[in-house]
Amino acid sequence: MQEESQRDTYKTITRTSAESLFKDRGSKFIGQAHPVRTEEEIEEVLTSLHQQHNKASHICYAWQLGKNYEHYRANDDGEPGNSAGPPIYGQLQS
């Protein structure tokens, strides 16, 4: 039997957190984190982001759901293969 202090713990977000902005060579990168529980909620967030940033060339993202992260996705949205979505997903895993 594990002691209370030895149980696995994790942190999660409970509300949309602050937005981060990075500019490089004429491109603007916006980072956001959103709390979601279902794939339907993810679709709602993505739809909202596409409406808010309708001039954006790409909206790259990654997500994971489930106690053991059995549901996940990483999307480059037209950026060169594996240059955006998978690195974002890697940050979620770390």
* Domain contains 55: yes
Write down the number of H helices and E strands in the chain. 2, 4
pLDDT of residue 53: 93
Mean pLDDT, contiguous 10-residue spans, the chain (94 residues) = 63 80 90 92 96 94 90 94 94 87
pLDDT of residue 15: 85
* Domain contains 86: yes
Pairwise CA distance, residues 12 & 36, whole Å = 10
CB atoms within 10 A of CB 53: 13
User: How do beta strands 27-31 and 61-65 pair?
Assistant: unpaired
* Domain contains 39: yes
**Prediction pTM value:** 0.80
* Domain contains 2: no
| Helix residue ranges, H only, the chain | 39-52, 85-93
- Give the structural domain span for 50: 13-93
Q: How many domains does the chain have?
A: 1
* Domain contains 60: yes
| Helix residue ranges, H only, 32-84 | 39-52
